[in-house]
Structure 1
Amino acid sequence: MNRSSFMKWVTGGLEAFWALPVIGGSIIFSMSWSPLVVMLILHIITLIISINEGRNKHGSILGIVTSAVGFIPFLGWMMHTLTAILLLVDAYRSEKAIEVS
Structure 2
Amino acid sequence: MSTTRNMKLITGVLEAILAIPVLGAIIILSNGWMPLVIMLVLHIITLMLAVQVQGPLAGSIVGIIASCLGWIPFVGWMLHAAAAIVLLLEYFSRRLQRR
**What letter corresponds to residue 10 of structure 2 in structure 1?**
V
1:57 Cα deviation (Å)?
A: 0.5
1:94 Cα deviation (Å)?
A: 1.0
Q: TM-score, normalised by structure 1?
A: 0.95
Between the two proteins, the alignment pairs up a number of residues equal to: 99
Q: Secondary structure at the match of 1:32?
A: coil
Deviations 1:9-65 (A, max 9, x none): 000000000001001111101111000000000000000000001100110011001
Question: Quick one: distance in 1 between partners of 2:76 and 2:18?
Answer: 9
Question: Quick one: distance in 2 between partners of 1:97 and 1:47?
Answer: 20
Q: Which residue does the alignment assign to 2:35?
A: 35
Q: Secondary structure at the match of 1:54?
A: coil
Q: Which residue does the alignment assign to 1:13?
A: 13
| Dislocated runs of 4+, deviation >6 Å | none
1:70 Cα deviation (Å)?
A: 0.2
Q: RCO higher in 1 or 2 (8 Å CA, sep ≥ 6)? A: 1
Aligned-residue identity in percent: 45
Question: Quick one: distance in 2 between partners of 1:71 and 1:94?
Answer: 31
Q: Secondary structure at the match of 2:21?
A: coil
**What letter corresponds to residue 73 of structure 1 in structure 2?**
P
Unaligned runs of 5+ in 2: none
Deviations 1:55-97 (A, max 9, x none): 0011001100110000001100010001000000100011122
**Cα RMSD over matched residues?**
0.7
Question: Quick one: distance in 1 between partners of 2:96 and 2:39?
Answer: 26
The alignment status of 1:88 with 2:97, answered yes or no, reads no
Unaligned runs of 5+ in 1: none
**What letter corresponds to residue 86 of structure 2 in structure 1?**
L
